[in-house]
Amino acid sequence: MQTTESATNQTGYKALTQKQVARFWEDGYLIVGKVLNDDLIERMRREYDAEFALARSGERPVRNLAVDDDAHDHDEGERQEMLQFMQISEHNLHFHKLTYHERILDIIEDLLGPNIQLFHNQALYKPPHHGGPIFWHQDNAYWQCLPANLVSCWLTLDDVDLRNGAMQFIPGSHLRPMIHDQAQGSDVLLDMGKQVDDSQTVVADLPAGGITLHHCQTLHRTAPNTTDRQRRAYAIHFMTPGTKSMRTAETIAVSFSHPMLRMRV
Ligand SMILES: O=C(O)CCC(=O)C(=O)O
């Protein structure tokens, strides 16, 4: 039976083990595995495909991160696509509901506590054969949030491995925020590759319906999708209320775009 009030386990955590929580804070990421059931995966795939079909006909605000910026045009031969659909939850009720998914919020509560606010969410699509890369980066170099304790849940609707764009992380990199030249005040994705020692890279293979979590300072990237499989991902970025954006020098107020997803009153 589903209840709104989830039980707390013996360690005081709701969904993760003590070891998993310690691991997240030590490594800056955690590979959790499958959290969505097969029916929900199927439903979300249909919704995802319908939304991207609307995007292709210009009815949805989608950006191609692989070619948006002249200086970073990674187009080689066939045009690469790394499609970003920001705040898909504001366009589609099923993604709205997924943002409030009970088990995912239980997991986030174990890391951030019971008061959880949405920073933003996004669908990130790499089509078969020509899905573009996302280069090494730390999210908070772009977001400029304080305190820097945001947590992202990256969810895949397809089985993922290195070749179709699974998440890759560098353990412990969240403890060393890097300056991303030009990143401040810009949305352009930079290639931090030359400044990154990626000898310890971990590739997070996942089954469809699976999630990884990462801290907002963890170095991560995804490879191009060179397979004949899709890579349909959805990322939810969570924060605690009171988080300040250094871009605007203001606290991010609770609003339609930044609702409280869970709180203890
Ligand atoms: O989906 C991807 O390929 C990259 C996602 C990402 O960088 C993120 O969710 O922070």
| The ligand 1 atom nearest the CA atom of 220 | 7
Query: How many other C-beta atoms are found inside a 10 Å radius of the C-beta of residue 24?
Result: 22
CA of 155 to the centre of ligand 1 (A): 10
Distance between CA atoms of 9 and 70, rounded to whole angstroms?
51
Cis? peptide before 147, omega within 30° of 0: yes
CA of 219 to the centre of ligand 1 (A): 11
Residue among 80, 163, 192, 222 whose CB has most ligand 1 atoms within 8 A, to mutate: 222
Residue 6 scores a pLDDT above 80: no
Cα atoms found within 13 Å of the Cα of residue 109, Cβ hemisphere only: 23
pLDDT above 90 covers what percent of the chain?
Answer: 82
Q: What is the pLDDT of residue 246?
A: 92
Q: What is the pLDDT of residue 82?
A: 96
The angle that helices 102-112 and 18-27 make with each other, rounded to 10 degrees, is 70
Residue 113 scores a pLDDT above 70: yes
CA of 126 to the centre of ligand 1 (A): 11
Average pLDDT, the chain: 91
Closest CA to 240 of 249, 252, 250: 252
| The ligand 1 atom nearest the CA atom of 139 | 10
Q: What is the pLDDT of residues 149-192, one digit of tens each?
A: 999 999 999 999 999 999 999 999 999 998 776 554 444 455 66
| The ligand 1 atom nearest the CA atom of 82 | 3
Distance between CA atoms of 151 and 212, rounded to whole angstroms?
10
Domains and CATH numbers, the chain: 35-174+188-231+240-262 (2.60.120.620)
Q: What is the pLDDT of residue 197?
A: 87
Q: What is the pTM of this model?
A: 0.92
